[in-house]
Amino acid sequence: MGYFAIIALFLLAVLMAVTFVAISHLFGPKRPSHVKLGPYECGVDPVTNPRRRFSVKFYLIAILFLLFDIETVFLVPWAAIYNQGVILWGAAIFWEMFVFVLVLVIALIYVWKKGALEWD
């Protein structure tokens, strides 16, 4: 009985979403043309096919960039806490972050040696 309100709200949200999409589909304008169906690139006619394939290397480098960029997210709060001069946990916090950075450096060396950062 305690979940009734949550279930009712969920069902109401789904019902409203389906209703709005159906109304838009039924009463919306339907005048497709070559210009409307074509890709829009900031007002400039497309130079190449927008459905061209990208190399897997592109996605691999993007994922690796995100992975190693998230390291910064963990380093900034650590540096703020460590800079406050926490005496009791100072050494433990330092060595914990040292191990974290060491694992990331080892991962970077591994990825580099495997050639995942090569763009050719």
pLDDT per residue as tens digits for the range 27-86: 988 888 887 777 666 767 667 776 777 778 888 888 888 888 888 788 888 777 776 766
Domain-embedded: residue 33: no
Domain-embedded: residue 79: yes
Tell me how crowded residue 48 is: count the other CB atoms within 10 A of its CB. Answer: 6
Domain-embedded: residue 47: no
Mean pLDDT (whole number) for 16-27: 95
pLDDT, tens digit, for every residue of 4-15?
A: 999 999 999 999
Domain-embedded: residue 61: yes
Confidence of residue 98 (pLDDT cuts 50, 70, 90): confident
Domain-embedded: residue 16: no
Domain-embedded: residue 62: yes
Statement: the pTM of the whole predicted model exceeds 0.85: no
CA pseudo-torsion sign 69, 70, 71, 74? positive
Domain containing residue 62: 56-114
Please count the structural domains in the chain: 1
